Structure 1
Amino acid sequence: MTGTRTPAALVLEDGRVFRGAAYGARGRTLGEVVFCTGMTGYQETLTDPSYHRQIVVQTAPQIGNTGWNDEDDESARIWVSGYVLRDPARTPSNWRSTGSLDDALAGQGVVGVSEVDTRALTRHIREHGAMRAGVFSGDALGDTGDMVREVLASPPMKGADLAGEVTTARPYVVPAAGEPRFRVAALDLGIKSNTPRELSRRGIDLHVLPAGSDIEDVLAVEPDGVFLSNGPGDPETQEQAIELTKAVLGRQIPLFGICFGNQILGRALGLGTYKMRYGHRGINIPVLDAETGRVAITAQNHGFALEGEPGSRFSSPFGSARVSHYCANDGTVEGIRCDDVPAFSVQYHPEAAAGPHDAAPLFDRFVTLMEKSK
């Protein structure tokens, strides 16, 4: 950070104000305030499309130490609407760094605030839930009442249809690394860059399709399998993706979904979804396999979840299914598996950029599913 300290504030819809110094771009931004518990991987977090229209609070106190590099982006841009941290690095120090985090945020117009008591802020969000908020700095910083009214006039995350704002504009192909073994159609609801890399490494030609694609678009690929990606917003709004998923299930094409894709598969099977109090966001969240009892430490980013009980079975229009995984912290549904059609999904990120890698074998399970189907 350089220059004179510019006052800034994070203003919550319940009237609570956290004051600090401007970081990144100056101005005003609005979104849903959430916290992320990852101690590393801030560049991957900022460029994850699942964070679209969210103001991210970093619970780790020191952010920006490794600067910004040209290799770790998970998409073509920063997607968060705002950024909140406590102690920003004065000077980045890493051999891969090409610039500072502050400059990267400013260059992409992302308004942030530093020197915030993020411990108190996180406790407030845990107690009162994720809510609408705004970051104001420079000339945009004004009367508290006026800023609160601006926040209250912004749209809530419940009912937000955002996948269409982050998806690819046109189909593209990520070729297999080495000899192609399978062809997969991936529905881009906000896909991260590491997902195609993980699938490519397993001999998969990945055809990435826009979120508005229908079953005819998928069948045109002649896929051995279908992948439903992560993404932002309320899954209840994704009628197109849900209908597409039903069509895939009806044709018994192997299907694998992650994060938002888990919620889409669940709704296609007849489960409901709900908005969580403050969600799961971080790279240190324990998940239990209901069948084996094994624990995986996972990367997650979601504010909605499927209804259901750990280990329970349920009937769907496509036969029997079960809740296969759940969160060890609070019992939230973390995965589902179909018994009568080749489909499964998890609420977390097996591509895990940045880490951990406990869930990476799920990509191999998808490959096995396609092998059996062939």
Structure 2
Amino acid sequence: MTRGIAILGSTGSVGTQALDVIDHHPGRFRVVALAAGRQVERLAEQARRYRPALLSVADAEAAAALRQRLQSESGGYRPEITWGQEGLIRAATHPESSLVLTSVVGAMGVEPTLAAIEAGKDIALANKETLVAAGELVMAAARARGVKLLPVDSEHSAIFQSLSGADPGQVRRILLTASGGPFRGRKDLSGVTREEALRHPRWSMGAKITIDSATLMNKALEMIEARWLFGVPMERIEVIIHPESILHSAVEFVDGNVIAQLGPTDMRLPIQYALCYPERCPGFVQPLDLIALGSLTFERPDEETFPSLCYARRAATMGGTMPAVLNAANEVAVERFLAGEIPFTGIFQVVAGVMDRHDPVQRPDLAAILAADRWARAAAREQGITG
């Protein structure tokens, strides 16, 4: 039976790789909705190829440009074109989809993910910020509606596969691996350029997540995401630097056994696993050659040079709206660094400064989370730095 798929963030790294997975399994999936930002030409190309019923873009201007590009399309193809947050929600709740891949960047994924869950859609989650900002709300909604929340990040997919449905009480530790980014082993991060920070040694990703990898903020956010996905407290989630990025994460159980998932550094593998779940579709990625690999190495993270992991533990301990503030402040800090407004180390200063100024609301509803997100973004834009 063909499964209807909606993809939020179809022109980004995960979205385009998801479409590649779909191409390799003809007849298994049907793309019914695509949502993107302002990459109108790329979205138009995707629309011509997959002919979804609904397309969504960032704003009315992009919608007009997309409509103009598609107006001469032959065969009577006239998709519904919408935009903004409402457009994301329309795409996420399209009646012909049963699975929604959420791969938009940042906290903008919270509302459409919740809307998709309320509409009874299974979620393939590639937007960690959704669970960082609103994990308690999202997990409660998923349980209430009985929908599956399938992790797409390679690390969380590895944990999901390693757990195999085991009770969280049987878990001693979750071992969350990190490549270490481009500055592994470096003690002095002053003078880091935009180009250096975007040069990831292992993965090909979008700009924001690549910078997060360089600061280890991606692991900070993934710790909080894992806490919600798998029901394991933060003190039992440990980050380990693994520069080869072959062992994607592992679970240590109370009896001493450790179960890990290994695979090539290719995001199409965890994407395919989520799209095909609970089946395993035939693979098309070059398989792992352990003999050629030779050896794997592991190190402790340098939390003094890269304090992001400390920020995650602090945010999770304080709870309430603090994780949403951590995430929002980081998003703005990364934007400021990419724009040349602050140095690389300024990212840490902005995040820490905004967290210091926030008094978290405990057990927040969605309105309180979104309000904290807005406050943190404004605070991060004005947060000064030293040095």
More strand by share: 1
Using the size of structure 1 for normalisation, the TM-score is: 0.28
TM-score for both structures, normalised by structure 2: 0.28
Which of the pair is proportionally richer in helix? 2
